Copies of this chain bind each other. A is one copy, B any other.
């Protein structure tokens, strides 16, 4: 498969280059970056020096990419609001598009407007683009434009969706606390992202309504067949990579039923690692991999289920999951290039 990565200079783009340059079924044809066009990838992403040789960033416009017959699949690793500009012409030109931004993650244009403050510029693409959690979603493989889940939502939805689908947990009081490594904030020159301001420090942000709540809410409502009351509290933690999520949700189910449900739902999912109850996942164990580690305990005093999950925000939460989707779409084994 002939591949282009658009927006390749950011953290997710870097991860895509790393993964796709080693992927046995892929020829990496083009990596684009407006700001770095004409410069060597190895100069700006020195960690990739042994992988990329003399590869340079190109400046392909959406139109050029759309016209380029040598490209089959385009990964968009762009900020939300920018993906549109590429997705539309590429879609018209018949390319397969795997979009890592938030631009096509919501199903409902109403929700989009609510969370992003303006109407969606291309509602017909919103309609065309399935939201794909590769372990859960079905019937999406023919889609030409695919929306990859966000990093926080990945850590939340994989443990929760099967439980909501089977009615094992309640919808009336879900509290999610997530702690993200600093790379989750993107490659941005901001005061609060300086080493001195983040090292040895923890803070909450984006309360009470973070944008990732939109897709969490939409997917959980769909799974539960009713409105789920969700409180989502994101935080920044002084680590480079990784998300740790702690979910408190009322339940009437014993812990054994929870685990049986998970074991069934993820029996054939190589990247879902279910830890025994009473064992707690740690971010360092998933960093560098496409895994999600999950476990749960039940509190008999409160009748709450407490789930903890960990992912690498740039792999399972971004580039790795996109490659996993690519593998499934084109019939390669799910783990190709991801071990």
Interface positions of A (Cβ within 8 A of B): 11, 22, 46-47, 49-51, 173, 175, 177, 179, 182-183, 187, 189-191, 193-205, 207-209, 229-231, 233, 235, 237-242, 244, 246, 248, 270-271, 273, 280-291, 293, 297-299, 301-302, 304, 306, 308, 310, 339
Contact = CB atoms under 8 A, between A and B. Distances in A.
A199 B209 contact: no
Please give the count of copies of this chain that the complex contains: 4
Contacts of A241: 200
A164 B336 CA distance: 45
Contact of A208 (B183, B200, B298): B298
A197 B208 CA distance: 29
B49 A237 contact: no
Given A49-B273, A195-B195, A271-B50, A246 B233 contact: yes
A203 B297 contact: no
What DSSP secondary structure best describes chain A's contact surface?
mixed
Contacts of A271: 50
Contacts of A239: 199-202, 238
A280 B203 contact: yes
Nearest to A298: B208
Contacts of A290: 50
Contact of A196 (B177, B205, B240, B273): B240
A212 B203 CA distance: 22
Contacts of A209: 299, 301
Contacts of A286: 47
Contacts of A190: 189
A179 B306 contact: no
A308 B236 CA distance: 13
Contacts of A297: 207-208
B196 A187 contact: yes
Contacts of A194: 187, 189, 193-195
Given A49-B293, A246-B235, A291-B50, A199 B199 contact: yes
Contact of A237 (B22, B237, B246): B237
Contacts of A173: 173
Given A202-B237, A203-B244, A47 B284 contact: yes
B280 A205 contact: yes
A93 to B, nearest CB: 32
A229 to B, nearest CB: 6
A194 to B, nearest CB: 5
Contacts of A205: 280
Nearest to A275: B46
Contacts of A248: 175, 231, 233
Contacts of A298: 208
A182 B199 CA distance: 10
A211 to B, nearest CB: 14
Contacts of A208: 297-299, 301-302, 304, 306
Contact of A175 (B22, B175, B197, B204): B175
Contacts of A291: 49-50
A124 to B, nearest CB: 29
